[in-house]
Structures are given as structure tokens and as C-alpha cells.
Structure 1
Amino acid sequence: MHRIAVLVPALTLTAALTTGVVGSPAAAQSPAGSAPHPVMFVGNNWDGTATVVDARTHRPIRTVDTIPDRAQRMAEILTSPDKLVFYLAVQAAIGEGHAQYTDDMFTTHDGRLLAVSRPSFADVVGIDLAGGDIVWRFPMEGYRSDHMGVSPDGERLLVSDSTANTVHELDIRTGAKTGEFPSGDSPHENNYTADGERVFHASIGRVYTPTDRPVLRQPYDTLKGERYLQIVRTDGLAVESRWDMGRELEEAGYPGMASAVRPMALAPDERFVYLQVSFFHGWIEFDTQAPDLDGATGYAGEPATGAVTRVVDLPRRTTEPRERYVLDSAHHGMAINRAGTTLCAAGTMDGYAAIIDRETEEFALVEVGEKPYWSTNGVRDSECWVSVSGTDQVVVIDYETAREVARIDVGDHPQRVREGVVARDVLRTWR
């Protein structure tokens, strides 16, 4: 029987426009030693800030301004007609009426630099955590930046260039470009394998278009663009495999489902991928090594291996029509604990997080609030961190008990949450 846990719930963080570090809600309590302090970074997309949270105590430590160069960037946009058009388009079509200033974040392993993708400014910047200054900036070839990914050794940074159908590889310390690989329309998530030799990448297509009904799949669905799940080799950034998930779902007996792979999580064996697709209230298991279900090339470039092995529904509670889903996201957020036994899914349109037994498919629902938008593992293996963009909070959930263990007030519209570190001498300057 499904267990449903009903759990209940701020600190407003004000972003300065000219300084890098804008507040210290709580002093960091760090034990002696030289190892960087483990934290969680929460990207407050509409604020242009990142809240730094102690990964163990769940206390906010600091708020970092991710747009200290806002005046300079806006002057550049206002004097460039093409950039202005896309800035306004991102605000209207993707940002729900807001500019998008903080999407994804990763720290260097020494805890001294934070890399941040800034969609409305179409760039990635490296921010010195001690002083808040921007030490490097990489502009996109296109007009919007999005999800990133960092290699296990902490040296390579991937950033999705939304309108250029490209993913750039950068040196995280300098921002210098070291490579790129092609994607479909609207490149999205990037996940390295544990050995750093491959990247699982997905493109989601034009999620801001209104052609959202399966009956319109042809010809109107083509307006959504090319949407793929890809595996990319990091030694030469060549695409090793590319699947159209909508077609794979059709082969598995699920016609009319979207091709856009939203957040995904890799099982520890890196063979199975657990993923969400646009408009679907649930999760999908994809076996990258299973023989293709029909043994034929059903679409251009279809690999001989790869098959949908499970499609599992979760409760649909929203009464909104598909056209009102936030960027086509019924659910947007998927994590798996390090043991590979439990999934943590953010039910964006349904207001819950689901803790799911991977084997039995049994689940518990945790009531987190309006528009949960991301889920990720905490530093503690027992924790899943879920951003709740509608209430400006992050909820920490225990994988074992499916109970809320902390609720943290952050900034305006938190989306990405990432594990990171901060150098201890930097923490001392923040006190």
C-alpha cells in the first residue's frame, strides 16, 4: 500500500546589485581543519542570488550576489537589439514574467570559486567566494545559458547553450573553452558518470510553445524541435548514443508521450536511467544496454541497444490543463540515493515530493508546497533536498522515513540546488 506522509511548513534575502556577498544570516560553525566546508548552494533564479546553506546543520550561512555586474550587462543588452529581444523573450516565455539570473552552480574543489550560469545574461561566470568579484566570464554563442555539469575531478564544466543547440566545455578555473558537443533544441541537463568518461545529456525542445496535445504530434509537434537523450564520450566529446525517448516509449507500448527528457538520475551501475518526460506525472526506467525492443531502426540514428523497461504513474493532483504546465513540466526533479535503492521525484504541478522504492515502486508523498522544481542528494546519504520555487524554500527529506527534516527559507524562486564546498578561510571572512 502506498504511504502518504502529509507534512507542513520567511527569511527574505535581499540582493545587492553592486557587491558580491550580501548577507550573513547565520555564522558558519566549522570544526578545525583545512578541508573545505561542505555546503549546499541554492540558486534563487529571479533574485540573482545563491543561498549558501550548511549541509549538515541546514542553517543558511551566506547569500552570494550572482549578478554584481548587472548594470554593465543591462547596458550591453539595452544597446544591442538582438540581445534585448531575447532578454525580453526569456522573461516573458520562460521566466514567468521575471528575468532569470541564477540557474546552475558548481564550486571548485578548493571551495574558492563558484561557477554560475545566468540565463538572461546568456553567460557563465566564475565568482570569487571571498570577495564576490567576477574573475572570468564566458558568453554563450546563443542567447541563453541553462543547466551545467561538472566533472568528478572538478576541472571541467559543461554549460548548455539554449539557442545554439550546443554544450560548451570550459576550464572551471579560468572559463577558457576546451571543447563542445552538439545537442538537439534547448540543451538541458548534463550528468557525468563516476569515472568522468561519459556524459548523459538531454535536450528538451521548445517547451514554451503551445502545441501540447498528443493529437497534434504531426505536424504541429515538430514545432517542439529535436529532443534527445544522448551519451557523449568525454575524451573527444563525440556523441556515442542518441535516443528519441518519445519513439522509445512508443516501441514500449506508450504512444503519444513526449520526447523531452526532463531531469534524470543514473543508477549506480550507470546502466539504468530514471527519468521524467514532459507532461508525465511519474517516472520512467530506461535500460541503456537492453536490446532495442523492435530490433529495427525506427528513426534516424536509433541505437541497437536501449529500451524503456518501466513506466510508472504517480498521483496527478493538478487540475490545470497541459497548456498551463510550467514549461511543460508535470514533474521536474529526479534524484536517486547513493545505494541506488530509492528515488526522490519533485512533483512540480502536484505540490509534492515522492520518495519511491526503486524495486517495488511503492512510494510516500511529502507535501512540500507550491511548484517543487528540483531534487538532489545532500551531503548526508540519507537526505534529498527539494527546492520549492513557489514558496521560496528548500525542503530536506529523509530517504528512509520519507519525512521532512528541515525547511529552509531562501531567495526568490529557488531552482537548482547543488552540493559544494567553501574554503574555511573564506568562511572566516564571512562571519
Structure 2
Amino acid sequence: MRRATAPALTAATLAVVLAAAGSTVPAAATGAPADDPRPVMFVGNNWDGTATVVDAATHEPIATVDTIPDRHRRMVEILTRPDALAFHLAITAAIGEGHAQYADDMYTTHDGRLLAVSRPSFADVVGIDLASGDIVWRFPMEGYRSDHMGVSPDGERLLVSDSTANKVHELNIRTGAKTGEFPSGDSPHENNYTADGSRVFHASIGRVYTPVDRPVLRQPFDTLKGEQYFQIVRTDGLAVEQRWDMGRELEEAGYPGMASAVRPMALAPDERYVYLQVSFFHGWIEFDTQAPDADTSRTYDGEPAVGAVTRVVDLPKRTTEPRERYVLDSAHHGLAIDPAGTTLCAAGTMDGYAAIIDRETGEHRLVEVGEKPYWSTTGVDDDECWVSVSGTDQVVVIDYDTAERIATIVVGDHPQRVREGVVADDVLTAWR
């Protein structure tokens, strides 16, 4: 196990270093070509308002990017708008567990020069120049909170979930200009592009911050949670192609009383099967989006809503906390699959472990990671699963094949999303 202790550099520190060194102007400013960008992993430290940049090969931190350099200006705007202030305080008290949320999700451009970051407490997405640390564009939400994002395979389109407007915006990642939108349910959440970029697998999780968490009297409780959908969207025209209520699908598969809210998901390489976590469930679900024996009597937008639950697999439940104390209804929150499609990696949020799971047999091996693991994703190395452990401010890297801990990386306050990215070579030089 390796614990990274390299000092982090803030954007302000980087500017001082550049000025003192009398560096030449980076290629980003001159337009000169740069070497191929270096693959890295970005860790969003949600309560800090920073993103830790980690070398994907050595697991050593390289730098820390300030995701809220405009904090003072944003707070002045919020304090002068009673509606915005009310939502800001509500997000802090409920969803943020007493903390503002400053860095939820993030993606880099393919040239490694810009980082797009969603900032829930500021209800926006910003594009940050990685060389200077400056914000080069900002897109405010129509509602009062931003959340998960998604980036197209070509690196040009950015999706961002607008939590209270019940829609997802499509942006040009380089300019922040809006290019489209599609509808969602309450609290739109995950956005996952298919490999060819033609479709998006999306889910809305409902009002996870409500105190109404028991499965009795299911219909009134679902009503209070709002509309919770799992849907497939065509990127050409951003039309919803299929939509399911996963609670209903689970009930028809013989599992009544389970939640409809689909949390993190992982697409199999064939993109037919999708693996899901749902609220309050300590385990995972396999859903066949093309099930031939599905109930085709139901339709969405005039077309048969094919699809069926094919497996529901429990993982060990260790927590003794009541459902009302689950973090935003999340028993488990974080699910990844290796590129070969043979192994799943699940973050057991309320149970303190990561589970490495054989996709075919369902057999699992547990890796103790610490308090509140909150996300899992496959690293640049296809053999690695990166798990954020938000309760201890660390990221744990696990080998898919052996289920052994490879590294433990110290990051900022409350790491959540971990994303693969790239950084341009001249930007790295400037950081050094």
C-alpha cells in the first residue's frame, strides 16, 4: 500500500511560481502545438471546493485545482437573492450534511487544457483554464442546484443535471454554450454515454433529502419522493427513447417494496445490460434493456417499453443505522465495470467496504476501505478500480483481478466523484 504525501499546488500558487520563474508563455496562449496530454485522475473534493489531480500510473498527487476562485462574487449574488439564499442554505443543511457543495463532477477537454466542474451550491457549471486557474466560462442552472455530468466520447458535448429544474442541459464543453436539453424526473442524476455517443443512459433519483424513507404505504411515499425514472435518450435530437419506473420493474420481477430511484450505474460492453444500484438496497441489479420476453403492453411515447430485471443480488449489510440515517437514501453509491465486462466494483457507502464482483457468478470479495465510500470508477489502467472514501478524505485503488488494495491516496475534504482526465504537457510543466 502506498500513501501519497506530495504537496498540492493551488491555482494561486501556480501563478506565483510561473511569475517567479519567468516561464515562457504556454502553448495554450500562443496556439502552438503541445505534446500528447498525460492521463490523470481527477478527484472532486466537494466540501473543499478543490479537485486533486493524481498521476494515473504512480498514484501520486500532482496538483490541486481551486474550483471556486469566484466564491466571493457568487456568495454576494446568493446573499442578495432570497430564493437563491434559501436553496443555498437548504443544500448545505440537507444534501451537504452541513457543508456547502463546491465540486460535484468534472471532466477535462481532450487537449487537457480545460476542466469543466459542476458546483451544486452555486447552481452552475464552470470551465476552468488548467494553466491559469481562471474561469473562462460559466453556465448557471435554470434551477437551484447542479449535479452529475457526462461527456460525449468525442469530448465535445457536456451534459449536466439541473436538480430542481428536472432537466439535463447539453453544453459545448469548450465554450459553455447551451446546445440542447432533455427532460428528466425529479432530481436528475447520472448521465452515461454509449461508446459511439448515440445514446445516453440517464436516471433521476427523486427527492432523496425527504425524511419519508419507509417502504410501507408505497404509493404515498413514492409520491413524496417525486418522479424517479431510468431512461435512454437519443443524442440526435435529445429525445427520450425509453423510460422505466425501476420500482415497478422490480415488483414485476418478484421484488416488491424496493425503491424506484436508480443511483450509480455501469454499462456492460454490449450496452444491452446495465447494472444498477437503487436507494436503500445493499446490492446490485442487472437490467436487460432488450429483454425479448418483457411486458410490451406498456409503452413510452407510443413504442413498446421493453426491458426487464434479470438479477437482484444482495451484498452484506453491515450498518446498524436506520434507513432515515442513510446518506441521501444511499445504502450503496458507486458502481463501475472493467472494460472486459467481467468484474464489477461497488462502493458500499453505509457498509464501509468496496466489493469486487464476478459479473457472471455474482461471487464477491470485500475490501475494507473506511467510512462512507461514495464513488467507484475504472482507472486509466483497466485493471484498477478507484474508490473515493469521503469519510476519511482518501481514494483507495483496488486491483480488479486480485481484489487487493494497490494504493491509498490522501486528497481533500469529502472526495466524491473520481473521473479520468488528461492534462496538457505544458500545463504540467507550469505546475512543476
Query: What is the TM-score when the length of structure 2 is the normalising length?
Result: 0.93
Q: After the TM superposition, which residues 212-223 of structure 1 pair with which residues of structure 2 at under 5 Å, given as runs? A: 212-223=213-224
Letter of the aligned partner of 1:84 in structure 2?
L
Q: After TM superposition, give the deviation of residue 169 of structure 1 in Å.
A: 0.2
Judged with a 3 Å threshold, the aligned counterparts in structure 2 of structure 1 residues 23 and 202 are, in CA distance, closer, same or farther, namely: farther
For the residues of structure 1 that align with 2:6 and 2:392, how far apart are their CA atoms? 11
| Distance change in 2, residues 1:84/1:315 (3 Å) | same
Q: Is the 8 A contact 1:15 1:65 kept in 2?
A: no
What is the rounded CA distance, in whole Å, between the counterparts of 1:267 and 1:21 in structure 2? 40
- Percent identical residues: 83
Unaligned runs of 5+ in 2: 18-33
User: In 1, distance between residues paired with 2:422 and 2:411?
Assistant: 18
Secondary structure, aligned partner of 1:328: coil
1:375 Cα deviation (Å)? Answer: 0.2
Report SS of the residue matched to 2:397.
Answer: strand
What amino acid maps onto 1:188 in structure 2?
A: H
SS in 1 for 2:206: coil
Cα distance in structure 1, aligned partners of 2:9 and 2:100: 14
Alpha-carbon distance in 2 for matches of 1:352, 1:133:
37
Task: Kindly state the Cα deviation for residue 304 of structure 1 after the two structures are TM-superposed.
Answer: 3.4
Residues 213, 178 of structure 1: alpha-carbon distance in 2 compared, 3 angstrom cutoff: same
Q: Distance in 2 between matches of 1:329 and 1:20?
A: 37
- Provide the secondary structure at the position in 2 that maps to 1:63: strand
In structure 2, do the counterparts of structure 1 residues 163 and 265 end up closer, same or farther at CA, with 3 Å as the change threshold?
A: same
Instruction: Determine if the alignment matches structure 1 residue 143 to structure 2 residue 144.
Output: yes
Task: Tell me whether 1:128 sits opposite 2:129 in the alignment.
Answer: yes
Give the corresponding residue for 1:156: 157
Q: Say whether the 8 Å CA contact 1:113–1:129 is kept in structure 2.
A: yes
* CA separation of 1:128 and 1:52: change in aligned 2, threshold 3 A: same
Find the aligned partners of 2:375 and 2:303 in 1 and give their Cα distance.
30
Q: 1:279 to 1:94 in 2, by over 3 A?
A: same
Query: Hey, what does 1:367 align to over in structure 2?
Result: 368
Q: How does 1:254-293 map to 2 (within 5 A)?
A: 254-291=255-292, 293=294
Q: CA deviation at 1:216?
A: 3.0
Residue 210 (1) aligns with residue 223 (2)? no
Structure 1 residue 301 displacement after superposition: 7.6
Query: How has the CA–CA distance of structure 1 residues 61 and 76 changed in structure 2, closer, same or farther, with 3 Å as cutoff?
Result: same
Residue 114 (str. 1) matches residue 115 (str. 2): yes
Amino acid in the other structure paired with 1:266: L
Q: Note the aligned Cα RMSD (angstroms).
A: 2.1
The 2-side partners of 1:397 and 1:358 are apart by 17
Alpha-carbon distance change, 395 to 303 in structure 1, aligned in 2, over 3 angstroms:
farther
String of CA shifts for 1:345-366, please: whole Å, max 9, x gaps: 0000000000000001111000
Deviation at 1:210, TM superposition (A): 1.2
Q: Distance in 1 between matches of 2:403 and 2:383?
A: 10
Contact 1:322–1:328, Cα closer than 8 Å, also in 2: yes
Q: Secondary structure, in 3 states, of the residue corresponding to 1:346?
A: strand
Give the SS at the match of 1:429: helix
Distance 2:338 2:73 in 1: 42
Please say if residues 242 and 302 of structure 1, whose CA atoms lie closer than 8 Å, have aligned partners that are also in contact: no
Show CA shifts across 1:338-394 (max 9, x none).
000000000000000000000011110000000000000000010000000000000
Q: Kindly tell me: are residues 427 and 299 of structure 1, through their superposed partners in 2, closer, same or farther at Cα, counting changes over 3 Å?
A: closer
For residue 44 of structure 2, what is the aligned residue in structure 1?
43
Provide the residue aligned with 2:338 in structure 1: 337
The residue that corresponds to 2:80 in the other structure is 79
Equivalent residue letter for 1:277: V
Distance in structure 2 (CA, Å) of the matches to 1:23 and 1:327: 40
Which residue of structure 2 aligns with residue 27 of structure 1?
none
Deviation of 1:11 (Å)? 5.6
AA partner of residue 406 (structure 2): V
CA contact (8 A) 2:279 2:331 kept: yes
SS of the equivalent of 2:307 reads strand
Deviation at 1:221, TM superposition (A): 2.5
* Counterpart in the other structure of 1:30: none
- State the alpha-carbon separation in 1 of the partners of residues 199 and 47 from structure 2: 32
| Paired residue type of 1:419 | E
Structure 2 match to 1:239: 240
Post-superposition offset of 1:219 = 1.6
Contact 1:197 1:235 survives alignment (8 Å): yes
SS of 2:289 mapped into structure 1? strand
Deviation at 1:34, TM superposition (A): 1.3
2:408 aligned residue? 407
TM-score with structure 1 setting the length: 0.93
Shift of the alpha carbon at 1:189? 0.4
CA distance change for structure 1 residues 282 and 8 in 2, over 3 Å: closer, same or farther? farther
State the alpha-carbon separation in 1 of the partners of residues 276 and 5 from structure 2. Answer: 33
Question: Post-superposition shift, 1:217?
Answer: 1.2
Q: Is the Cα–Cα contact under 8 Å of residues 242 and 301 in structure 1 kept in the other structure?
A: no
Q: Is the contact made by 1:125 and 1:175 (CA closer than 8 Å) also made in structure 2? A: yes
Would the aligned equivalents of 1:8 and 1:368 in 2 still touch at CA under 8 Å?
no
SS at the partner of 2:216? helix
Q: Give how far 1:15 is off.
A: 9.2
Q: Secondary structure at the match of 2:281?
A: coil
